[in-house]
Structure 1
Amino acid sequence: METFIKKLCSRYKVSEADVQSLLDCMEEVHFKKRELIVREGTKNSNLYFIRNGIWRAYYHKDGEETTIWFASDGEAAFSVWGYVDNAYSLVNIQAMCDSVAYCISRAALNQLFSSSIGLANLGLRLMDHQFLQQENWLINPGSPRAKERYLNLIKETPELLQYVPLKHIASYLWITPQSLSRIRAEIVANNVVMTD
């Protein structure tokens, strides 16, 4: 639990006291591998902090799933549509492995935001983080940046390779699974050459 709190404090620049105040008002929830936390076309205004696990958000287009983000230990996850506007979600959020998270409704969170400047600032940082994540995803699609994005992704969250099928990572990178296989083979070949 201590490591989880430190990750939250570091990632969102919030004090341990504010994180503890927030966690005191949240409910611990458990999800099984492949379970949908948010289903496309439903309303879910909850905010989740992932204690253990990896989640992904994706949408369907032309019968294919396109992954738009991954979240792991110490990160916030939510449907922007439900959280911001109590609207129907345009994405699914799925647990990629058995997961434990903390959950709070938007209404309860608003009450906390009005009681603490530190927590109100956390709310702003959550949105900032979400905007940056989405813009990075939109601006950097496909090759030739795919290799760089893949390397950054596995550097930041190496456990993705353990829990997330490569087809989902490929869709996040806006490339085909075959292109991702070529990138991975090139990385392995270059590492072998560099270590000889």
Structure 2
Amino acid sequence: MNIDIILDQIFLLPEHSKSVLKNLISEVEFPKDSIIIKAGKVERTIYFIKKGIVRAFVPQENQDLTFWFGKEGDVVLPMKSYVDNHQNYENIQLLEDCVLYQLKIDDLRQLFETDINIANWGRKLAEKELVKTEELFISRQFRTASQRYEELLTKQPEIIQRVQLGYIASYLGITQVSLSRIRSEI
């Protein structure tokens, strides 16, 4: 996905501001299974997914807990580092070979001080991520695993096709056996 489309999905910037922002963004490639954001670290980079799919997970004693998937056009934002310059609690793992756009958080913060349009873009980025988090929380609290699976089928069908069932089961908060049962019922 083109960086212009990704940036515009967040907030429409005047061309000059967008050009300044794009000058700080570079394209990088990582192989499948790379961990690009690590729990317990203050992360310095935001990523935008050009090509590929990723998952966010928290390491647990017996099994990792997957709580988010990102695909083309999505932002990989270490929120605690972005907002408060604190250590993250999540890992981000690439589930496919990925092409990403990267932006250094410190460079973005400097632009916030000099360009109100980019500062507003950064605010909208945080707001949109907050809404996604709220939707995820509400889904986890008030929907059954079957309802969450159906929602995933409806809103992100490519996840079902591109992500292994173990990660999907973890995301839904169920075992693979339960996921198989849900899939056979649908």
Structure 1 residues 102 and 146: CA distance shift in structure 2, 3 A: same
Equivalent residues in 2 for 1:80-91 (5 A)?
80-91=79-90
Q: Distance in 1 between matches of 2:13 and 2:154?
A: 26
Match of 1:160 in 2: 159
The aligned length equals 185
Match of 1:38 in 2: 37
Structure 1 window deviating more from structure 2 (138-147 vs 36-45): it is: 138-147
Match of 2:53 in 1: 54
Match of 1:64 in 2: 63
Match of 1:193 in 2: none
CA shift digits 1:90-132 (9 cap, x unpaired): 1101111011111111110012223333322221122112222
CA shift digits 1:21-49 (9 cap, x unpaired): 42221121111111100122222121111
Give the aligned residue type for 1:162: Q
Q: Distance in 1 between matches of 2:179 and 2:66?
A: 14
Superposed displacement of residue 144, structure 1 = 4.9
Contact 1:51–1:102 at 8 Å: present in 2 too? yes
Give the aligned residue type for 1:14: L
Q: Distance in 2 between matches of 1:151 and 1:21?
A: 41
Structure 1 window deviating more from structure 2 (146-155 vs 89-98): it is: 146-155
Superposed displacement of residue 15, structure 1 = 3.6
Q: Distance in 1 between matches of 2:135 and 2:157?
A: 19
Structure 1 residues 108 and 180: CA distance shift in structure 2, 3 A: same
Structure 1 residues 30 and 118: CA distance shift in structure 2, 3 A: same
Give the aligned residue type for 2:150: L
Please list every run of 5 or more consecutive structure 2 residues that lacks an aligned counterpart in the other structure: none
Q: Distance in 1 between matches of 2:60 and 2:79?
A: 19
Contact 1:59–1:66 at 8 Å: present in 2 too? yes
Give the aligned residue type for 1:69: W
CA-based RMSD: 2.2
Structure possessing the higher relative contact order (Cα contacts under 8 Å, 6 or more residues apart): 2
- Which residue of 11, 23, 30 maps to 1:13? 11
Match of 1:101 in 2: 100
TM-score normalized with structure 2 length: 0.86
